[in-house]
Structure 1
């Protein structure tokens, strides 16, 4: 399988909504992802197998030194082959090129080996308020 990665790549909302539904559960939504990420994000990374969107990560930021990973997802048929780590690596390159100094991520405990071992994140103390 040949995978192509694109920083700020073009995608259609239906493909990303379907990928999100598969990755996070539930039926495909009708989120206007394209407009949302263009308006609010530093960038995003798309992973393509041919014409199929098989991975995505959104890179939000504070306009300065801090970038934040959101919505990391890989198609279930493609998991375990390094696509997720390559998405994160491409996102880190994009954030670094934008002069960000820090890349943050939060995740469920079950994803700890992926983010720490496969992607190189270091543990930190953080806080969260459920709204």
Structure 2
């Protein structure tokens, strides 16, 4: 299986909406991801197999030195095959090339091993207010 990864790759909203619905277990929404990422993100990474979008991660930022991983998505039947870790590696590379100094991520507890072990993030103290 050959997977290609592209920083700021082209995609269709319907493809990301389908991945997001599957990844976060909700109905398919009609989000304008193209507008969102072009307006607010440092970049994003698309993973493709035979031209089909099978993975996606959004890299938001503060316009300075902090970038943030959001919406790491891999098609369900391809999870645990290394695609997610490669998406994050490409995101790290893109953020580093943009001269960011920090790449943040928050996640549910069941993804701890993925982000810490497979992707190399380190635990930090952080705060959160549920709105």
Q: TM-score range by the shorter chain?
A: over 0.9
Aligned to 2:95: 95
- How far apart, CA to CA, are the structure 2 residues paired with 1:124 and 1:21? 29
Give the drift of 1:27: 1.4
TM-score when normalising by structure 1: 0.98
Q: Which portions of structure 1, spanning 4 or more consecutive aligned residues, are displaced by more than 3 angstroms?
A: none
For structure 1, the residue ranges without an aligned partner over 5 or more in a row are none
Give the drift of 1:66: 0.4
- How far apart, CA to CA, are the structure 2 residues paired with 1:27 and 1:6? 27
Aligned to 1:111: 111
TM-score when normalising by structure 2: 0.98
Determine helix, strand or coil for the equivalent of 1:5.
strand
User: What's the RMSD between the two structures over aligned residues?
Assistant: 0.5
Aligned to 2:68: 68
Give the drift of 1:104: 0.2
- How far apart, CA to CA, are the structure 2 residues paired with 1:30 and 1:76? 20
